[in-house]
Structure 1
């Protein structure tokens, strides 16, 4: 199953252990297809965790850029004491 990149759902069902091993060992997703269309993917769990962490980091970076832009455009900031109070930390 080395180099497997696509397999039908029905074939994957019959060869699930091989599909999982191919994704886990090769660190490349195995796409499951139905009627020639990709419908899902099997990927290594650690790779998924890394993708999620990267997506969260990117979202944080974009939110920080947007906040800086709002401040640069003259929007009022929220005092730290107010933030702590709103979060029940004060």
Structure 2
């Protein structure tokens, strides 16, 4: 099992839209030079990602650049196709 670290004061917890006690925790660890994103189900951490502090500005720019248009009206034919792994990989 991995090392348990007390949740720092800098960070936040986000609830998954699917519910089921799924959360994403984002924490800053300046002493390690990382930002940690961890995925939780109930009280169990299922996955984590340690982002180097040097990559944080790029992540912030990526998130800031994401915009959502208003949802199309019912019966509209302009619904965009769902994003698939292939679509995402081609844009990366």
For normalisation by structure 2, the TM-score amounts to: 0.24
Larger helix percent: 1
